[in-house]
Amino acid sequence: MKNYLILLAFTIILIPACKEKKETKQEIPISALSIIKGQVNKLDTSLYAFTKYYRNDSISDTIYLKREEVRKFTEPFLSLPDIADKENGKKYTEERFIDAQLETLSIISTLKDEENSEVLKQIMVIGVSDISNSKVQSIFIDRYIASNDSIIEQKLLWEIDKYFTITTTTIRENQPDKTDFTKVAWQ
């Protein structure tokens, strides 16, 4: 009799547990593009002094930029596909890491293996020392563009309210890789 009661209790518990199937909802990544557009709009109306640092395999140069010239250097950022829209968001997995020592939260969006997109990885670092006033500190984007005769890899970094850098490596068959580095800073 005890065995029947145990079996009955087990069945009563098991059947509802099997029926409750929770759907896992995938979160859409945070839009770094909207944050960068906000920064560019801020630069368009600012009175900052802009400095451009440029370096490639044989040349190194530093020049001052006019405010009107800055936008053309932001083009690699502004031409990115937004991984936070519904269609692109499904292509990425998101991980979050808290660094207690640095008091930061890193949100890493990585392209799933089977997908094809320009943005391979996006990392947003958010300062969490003051929870009520958390702020994005930096955005890193790893971009990959394939064309008929070359592959272009870009490492894009935007330090909020400070500077941005663009490192572009062009790879062509039977030719040495060409790397260009551009940094635009403001004060």
> What is the distance between the alpha carbons of residues 99 and 63, in angstroms, rounded to a whole number?
37
97-130 per-position pLDDT tens digit: 999 898 899 999 988 876 678 888 999 999 988 7
Which of the four pLDDT bands, split at 50, 70 and 90, describes residue 11?
very low
169 Cβ contact partners less than 8 Å away, ≥ 6 residues apart = 152, 153, 154, 177, 178, 179
> Percentage of the chain with pLDDT > 90?
53
Are residues 107 and 121 in contact, defined by beta-carbon separation less than 8 angstroms? no
CA dihedral sign, ordered 111, 167, 159, 41: negative
Which of the four pLDDT bands, split at 50, 70 and 90, describes residue 17?
very low
Which residues share a beta bridge with 28? none
Which uninterrupted H or E stretch holds 13? helix 2-19
**Tokens of residue 159, six digits:** 């330090």
**What is the pairing mode between strands 178-186 and 92-99?**
unpaired
**Tokens of residue 18, six digits:** 């099997």
pTM above 0.85, yes or no: no
> What is the distance between the alpha carbons of residues 133 and 126, in angstroms, rounded to a whole number?
10
pLDDT at 3 over 60: no
